[in-house]
Structure 1
Amino acid sequence: MKKMMCAALLSAAFLTAGNSLFAQVQQTGAENELTPKFGIKGGLNLTNMYVKDVSDENLKVGWNAGVFAKLPVTRGFSIQPELLYTSKGAKETYNNFIEGKGEYRFNLNYIELPLLAVFNVAKNFNIHVGPYASYLIGANIKDLKDDGTINNITDLDAENFNRFDVGVAGGFGIDISNFTLGARYNYGFREIGKSGSLSGQLTKDSKNSAISLYIGLGF
């Protein structure tokens, strides 16, 4: 019985110490108090669409910029809504009977609203995950070689694509005082092109995929 009581007391002590340590490492240097933080952020996007039946597909380099709020719920855990302008798309090379032959860059520009759960898993280091919703505000397709044979593709605009997209985002951040450096992956759940249209035929049920690298400044 004494051995069982000693084991129980030791287990409780270890659990208490572990919880205390976990609570401490979740704090960052700039989060001594549970106060909201607001800031600006921006960076690069590396995007793709994974279109079927293309002879070549390459990442498109874009950018993202916007504002964020970090709203603490408890020590080491915050909710972070953001409002961003973000550019997505890809560079596609077509060479088949149905779509024709050509090399095109799809430029899709969105207003995006992520809502992220942020966990400070170590001092100055966090992971974040959550859903996002976005609205397509502009689209254009550029013929990279000016010799494309796909009829009317360069005439497509935002009205020819699905306006709304929803998806999930996840990544990590490094907090240095009020600065944040981070990387994030976004994946959309909705098809980019409208079903039964030229945009749907060209994008072949593809969805948005983006790696974002960013720097932020909180106040």
Structure 2
Amino acid sequence: MKHTMKTLTCVLILGLMAFTTQAQENAFGVRGGLNLSNFFTENVNDKNLRSGLHFGVYSRSPLIDNLLYLQAGLGYSGKGAEIEGSSGQAELGLGYLELPFLASVGIADFLFIEGGAYASYLLSANVSGETAGGSSFSDDISTDNFKDFDYGLAVGANTHLAPLVVGVRYYYGLQNIIANDFANFAGIEARNSTFQVYVAFEF
């Protein structure tokens, strides 16, 4: 399974490279910002959002001049959730290689509304926190506890202050990311939910 996902990731990267090199009127950019993430589970608690970082590169190509654009990106996204209980508080962090594809509609070439889909591959997992007794802990955990592949929908909006772009985006996961043998989540479905704020430099 891991070999298959690594192969798929390589294919997606090569496809993105081919897409960006063939388009003649592309705008290219680098972007980064803040993630606020959580899990959709049987008992959602949006008060316990985990903060993380995201960064990457993207290209934006006009399909209809000054109106409709196609945007493809590739980057790192730190997701996860905070979990509170009687025994203490823990923060579960998941690092993904993420590939979003979105259609973007321009309004007066200043405001852009976007929507599309994303696919991502799990790179790392870790847990940290504090017990009820005040002891801190931090450790990497096996990515085998989670499914390698995640996918879902993405919507957002941004404004262009050339050469800067400022925007927000929301990622809604459609995949249950918990592996069946993960004891702490046995029988419970969990999906990624991530809100992003970002700044990009476009050229």
Q: Displacement, 1:53? A: 5.2
Identify which of 181, 184, 191 aligns with 1:207: 191
Matches within 5 A, 1:9-158: 35-52=25-42, 58-75=48-65, 76-95=67-86, 101-145=87-131, 156-158=141-143
Change (3 A) 1:146 1:137: farther
* Residue identity matched to 1:124: F
Q: Specify every segment of 5 or more residues in structure 1 that has no aligned partner in the other structure, as ranges.
A: 1-33, 96-100
* Residue identity matched to 2:74: L
CA-atom RMSD in angstroms: 2.4
- The CA distance in 2 between the partners of 1:54 and 1:68, in whole Å, is 32
Match of residue 171 from structure 1: 156
**Which is worse superposed, 117-126 or 179-188?**
117-126
Q: Specify every segment of 5 or more residues in structure 2 that has no aligned partner in the other structure, as ranges.
A: 1-23
Which secondary structure state, in structure 2, belongs to the residue aligned with residue 192 of structure 1? coil
- The CA distance in 2 between the partners of 1:43 and 1:35, in whole Å, is 26
Larger radius of gyration: 1
The sequence identity of aligned pairs, in percent, is 34
Any runs of at least 4 consecutive aligned residues in structure 1 with deviations exceeding 6 A, and if so which?
Answer: none
Provide TM-score, normalisation by structure 2.
0.78
- The CA distance in 2 between the partners of 1:172 and 1:41, in whole Å, is 14
Which secondary structure state, in structure 1, belongs to the residue aligned with residue 40 of structure 2? coil
Change (3 A) 1:102 1:192: farther
Which secondary structure state, in structure 2, belongs to the residue aligned with residue 144 of structure 1? strand
Which secondary structure state, in structure 2, belongs to the residue aligned with residue 195 of structure 1? coil
Q: Displacement, 1:51? A: 3.5
Change (3 A) 1:72 1:199: farther
- The CA distance in 2 between the partners of 1:78 and 1:56, in whole Å, is 33
- The CA distance in 1 between the partners of 2:43 and 2:156, in whole Å, is 30
Match of residue 166 from structure 2: 181
- The CA distance in 2 between the partners of 1:116 and 1:53, in whole Å, is 30
Which secondary structure state, in structure 2, belongs to the residue aligned with residue 190 of structure 1? coil
8 Å Cα contact 2:124-2:143 kept in structure 1: yes
